[in-house]
């Protein structure tokens, strides 16, 4: 499917109305032990909330098997609702992350939205300028 999508022009699709939040989490020094200790609880949590995730997974340096953080993209009505999901995850409650960045993210193009959300260059020019 990825190859097929790569070879065609993306269709224009409606913009997603529910906000999407990107969580970029960097591991702390005790993360490897905590990751193993809380793995079962973490997997149970993300499985229970799988319909809230666009995607989620570990972060690694290219070519390295060593995990150094996590990336989660969550759909929620507002940031506090996204945090409520994260606060139920044992990986968050065990404080294995040294830092967590949260960004409000627009799903603009790709397989998940099913194409692109803009009609033309002019239709996104103002938003690209911060408007």
Strand partners, 72: 23, 56
Can you give the pTM of this predicted structure? 0.85
Map 40-93 to HEC letters. HHHHHHHHHCHHHEEEEEEEECCCCCCEEEEEEEEECCCHHHHHHHHHCCHHHH
Asked if residue 73 lies in contact with residue 21, where contact means CB atoms within 8 angstroms, the answer is: yes
Check pLDDT > 60 for residue 2.
no
pLDDT in tens, 31-45: 999 999 999 999 999
- Position 119 scores a pLDDT of 83
Please give the C-alpha separations between residue 62 and each of 3, 22, 35, 59, in angstroms, as whole numbers: 21, 20, 20, 9
- Position 126 scores a pLDDT of 75
pLDDT in tens, 6-37: 568 888 887 888 999 999 999 999 999 999 99
Residue % of the chain over a pLDDT of 90: 66
Q: Which of 14-18, 82-86, 88-92 has the lowest mean pLDDT?
A: 14-18
Check pLDDT > 80 for residue 93.
yes
- Position 7 scores a pLDDT of 63
- Position 43 scores a pLDDT of 97
Asked if residue 23 lies in contact with residue 72, where contact means CB atoms within 8 angstroms, the answer is: yes
pLDDT in tens, 99-121: 999 999 988 888 888 888 888 88
Q: What long-range pairs does 1-4 form, CB within 8 A, spacing at least 24?
A: 1/111, 2/111
């Amino acid at each position: 499917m990825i190859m097929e999508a790569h070879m065609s022009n993306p269709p224009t699709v409606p913009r997603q109305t529910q906000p999407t939040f990107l969580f970029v989490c960097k591991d702390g020094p005790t993360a490897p032990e905590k990751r193993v200790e809380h793995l079962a609880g973490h997997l149970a949590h993300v499985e229970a909330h799988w319909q809230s995730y666009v995607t989620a997974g570990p972060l690694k340096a290219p070519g390295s098997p060593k995990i150094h953080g996590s990336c989660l993209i969550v759909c929620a009505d507002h940031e506090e609702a996204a945090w409520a999901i994260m606060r139920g995850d044992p990986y968050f409650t065990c404080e294995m992350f040294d830092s967590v960045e949260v960004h409000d993210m627009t799903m603009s193009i790709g397989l998940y939205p099913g194409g692109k959300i803009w009609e033309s260059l002019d239709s996104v020019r103002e938003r690209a300028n911060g408007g």
